[in-house]
Amino acid sequence: MKQMLNIALPKGRLGEKVYAMFEQAGFECPAIKEKNRKLVFENPEAGVRYFWVKPVDVAIYVERGAADIGVVGKDIIMETEPDVYELLDLKTGKCNMAVAAPADFRDNQSRTLRVATKFSNIARSYYASMDRDIDIIHLNGSIELAPILGLSDVIVDIVETGNTLRANKLEVVEFFAPISARLISNKASFKFLHDEIEAVMDGLEKIVREKEEKK
Ligand code: PRP
Atom of ligand 1 nearest to the CA of 163: 14
Residue 58's nearest CA partner among 42, 44, 74 is: 74
Residue nearest to atom 18 of ligand 1 (CA): 141
Rounded to an integer, the average pLDDT of 135-160 is 97
Q: pLDDT value at position 182?
A: 98
Sequence-distant contacts of 53-57: CB under 8 A, at least 24 apart? 53/8, 53/9, 53/10, 53/11, 54/10, 54/11, 55/10, 55/11, 55/12, 55/14, 55/15, 56/80, 57/8
Q: pLDDT value at position 66?
A: 98
pLDDT in tens, 152-161: 999 999 999 9
The rounded distance, in Å, linking the Cα atoms of 212 and 33 is 26
Residue nearest to atom 19 of ligand 1 (CA): 141
The predicted model scores a pTM of 0.94
In b/e form, how buried is each residue of 32-46, taking b as 16+ CB within 10 angstroms?
Answer: beeeeeeeebbbeeb
By the 10 Å C-beta count (0-12 exposed, 13-18 middle, 19+ buried), 112 is classed as exposed
> 204 CA to middle of ligand 1, Å?
27
3-state SS, residue 135: strand
Number of Cβ within 10 Å of residue 51's Cβ equals 20
The rounded distance, in Å, linking the Cα atoms of 88 and 25 is 14
Atom of ligand 1 nearest to the CA of 166: 14
Q: pLDDT value at position 168?
A: 96
> 1 CA to middle of ligand 1, Å?
43
> 146 CA to middle of ligand 1, Å?
14
> 89 CA to middle of ligand 1, Å?
21
Whether 35 has a pLDDT exceeding 90, the answer reads: no
> 145 CA to middle of ligand 1, Å?
12
pLDDT in tens, 105-135: 999 999 999 999 999 999 999 999 999 999 9
Reported confidence tier of residue 1, pLDDT bands at 50, 70, 90: low
Give the distance, in angstroms, between the CA of residue 75 and the centroid of all CA atoms in the same chain: 5
Residue nearest to atom 1 of ligand 1 (CA): 158
Q: pLDDT value at position 180?
A: 98
pLDDT in tens, 49-97: 999 999 999 999 999 999 999 999 999 999 999 999 999 999 999 999 9
Atom of ligand 1 nearest to the CA of 157: 7
Reported confidence tier of residue 2, pLDDT bands at 50, 70, 90: low
Give residues (CB < 6 A) around ligand 1: 141-144, 157-164
> 191 CA to middle of ligand 1, Å?
36
